[in-house]
Structure 1
Amino acid sequence: MTSPSVFIAGPASWNRLVVLDHLPEPVPHMQFAEDSWETVGGTSAGKVLSLTALGRDVLLYALSADDEDGRRVRSALSDAGAPTLWGTSAQTERHLNLMTPAGERVSLYLSSPAASDGAQDDRIRRTMADADALVLDLAAEPLRLLPMAAETGVPIWVDVHDYDGEAEFHRPFLAVADAVFCNADKLDDPVAFLRSRIAAGASLAVCTLGADGAVAVDDDGGEHRVAAIRVDVHDTNGAGDAFLAGVLDARLSGLGVPAALEAGARSASTVLGTRHLHPLLDPHLGR
């Protein structure tokens, strides 16, 4: 096996998605679902699917148990052509996502793997050292791998999602990041946060803004914006992962930040019309 251009470590899960006309209020009540289905989830699974679709050599390292849901995740990603390296965990990651047609979401983590015992560390270390970029997503196992990743000198990309600027768990990821991605859900001033990451040593910081596109700050302090591509939206799950994948692929291809943001917007638009993380899953899990 040749070394991948991009090595990703992080969650791949089995999810149940439930669509409601509005998110539940914090009081006892009954509510009827408008739709529900099961599918692959996990931010790292979303990224490997999008990079695979873009033709980038990529490898996902994730943990799962040898249980029914773990086998579902492994089979679906394999059928979709996404290259994977699996570590063994006592439990497979599972989510229950409550969503509305407007794109609001509450993710309930039903189970999440603990960090591994490092049985595959020699292989992982070699693979990371030979890659062009590393993506380490928020989970216990990637957290364990952070020092090893930093030692390689390979650029590290992190996605801190709805970071509020204070949460402790995110800080080790931000400390080693060459590129930082987030969304604006909990940031009062996204651009100020992006500039703080550049000041801390990152070379690129990007915040997605939902229907308003995205904004980025580069290592020269330049601010760049891109509009979202208008499409019929079926489900927003995976759009942020696809956006990062598009930007990463473009940057590795030598494109500048404005063109990379446009590539990210195109990549994100491709996943909005499917109920799965990526259309690559549609033939195997159903539309």
Structure 2
Amino acid sequence: MSSPRVFIAGPASWNQLVVLDRLPDPVPHMQFAEDTWETVGGTSAGKALSFADAGVEAMLYALVGDDAAGRRVQQAMSAAGVSVRWGTSAQTERHLNLMTRAGERVSLYLASPSEQNGDVPQDVRVALGSAEVVVLDLASESSRLLPIAAEAGARVWVDVHDYDGVNEFHRPFLAGADAVFCNDDKLDDPVAFLRSRVDGGASFAVCTLGADGAVAVDADGAVIEVPAIPVEVVDTNGAGDAFFAGVLSARLGGASLAAALESGTRSASVVLGSKHLHPLLDAVLGA
């Protein structure tokens, strides 16, 4: 395994997306889907696709099973030009995502990767330790890499998505992070949360606000806001991952935080126009 500039660990899955006119009510009933398709999913896969599109040398470490879903994920990511170190799982992660055109979503986990009980592979350790930035997404296997990243002195970036401020699983990821990303779905006061992460040792923290753009707090406590780029939205899956990758790609190029946030919004706008995690998959899986 070569030494990537960015090492990413976390989920890559095979998903079925179902678009509805509204999310189902919690009562027995029937609804008709407006559209449905199958595609690659997983927050880490989404980030890796955006890095590949940006020309950033990145390595994804993800788990798949020896099954039809796993082969589909592997083939799609390879065809899209993403460099991946695949780990072995008893089954491939699979989701059923119920969506609305407004971006509302209910994710049903149909299968999850098996727990890894052996030692972390040596080549994974080497790639992690040599990368300029290590991205550890929320997953059990990624949590095993946290102490390895700390021991290596790695610059760790984390994306805690819809963190509510109290969930215990997220806390180890937040503890050693140099950069923190989240969305505002469950935060009453996003800026206060971002300040808490900077006070806790992060260089900066960012919260995406959907159609309202994003807000960040830098190391000096300054608040930076950027608007979203208006686009015709086809599907919202992967937009946050593309934003994350756009920010990191720009920072690797020496951009200021404000300029990097603008890069993130451009990256997200590209993904919003595709029904896949990234338009790179349009030619692979069908637009």
Inter-partner Cα distance in structure 2 for 1:162 and 1:69: 26
SS at match of 1:96: strand
How well do the aligned residues superpose, as a CA RMSD in angstroms? Answer: 0.9
- In structure 1, what is the equivalent of residue 90 of structure 2? 90
- In structure 2, what is the equivalent of residue 259 of structure 1? 259
1:81 corresponds to 2:67:
no
Q: Which amino acid aligns with 1:30?
A: M
C-alpha contact (below 8 Å) 1:114/1:141 kept by paired residues: no
1:201 corresponds to 2:205:
no
- In structure 2, what is the equivalent of residue 129 of structure 1? 129
1:1-287 aligned within 5 A: 1-287=1-287
Inter-partner Cα distance in structure 2 for 1:273 and 1:56: 22
Inter-partner Cα distance in structure 2 for 1:151 and 1:213: 35
Q: Which amino acid aligns with 1:24?
A: P
TM-aligned CA deviation for residue 2 of structure 1: 3.1
Inter-partner Cα distance in structure 1 for 2:73 and 2:2: 24
Q: Which amino acid aligns with 2:206?
A: V
Inter-partner Cα distance in structure 1 for 2:128 and 2:223: 30
C-alpha contact (below 8 Å) 1:216/1:224 kept by paired residues: yes
Q: 1:198 to 1:129 in 2, by over 3 A?
A: same
C-alpha contact (below 8 Å) 2:2/2:127 kept by paired residues: no
Q: Which amino acid aligns with 1:174?
A: L
State the Cα deviation string for residues 125-166 of structure 1 (Å, max 9, x = none): 111111000000001100111111111111100000000001
Q: Which amino acid aligns with 2:240?
A: G
Inter-partner Cα distance in structure 1 for 2:141 and 2:111: 14
4+ residue stretches of structure 1 with deviation over 4 A?
Answer: none
State the Cα deviation string for residues 180-214 of structure 1 (Å, max 9, x = none): 00000000000000000001111110000000000
SS at match of 2:187: coil
Inter-partner Cα distance in structure 2 for 1:35 and 1:135: 33
SS at match of 2:122: helix
Please list every run of 5 or more consecutive structure 1 residues that lacks an aligned counterpart in the other structure: none
SS at match of 2:188: coil
Q: Which amino acid aligns with 2:55?
A: G
Inter-partner Cα distance in structure 2 for 1:214 and 1:61: 28
TM-aligned CA deviation for residue 119 of structure 1: 4.9
C-alpha contact (below 8 Å) 1:87/1:116 kept by paired residues: no
Q: Which amino acid aligns with 2:286?
A: G
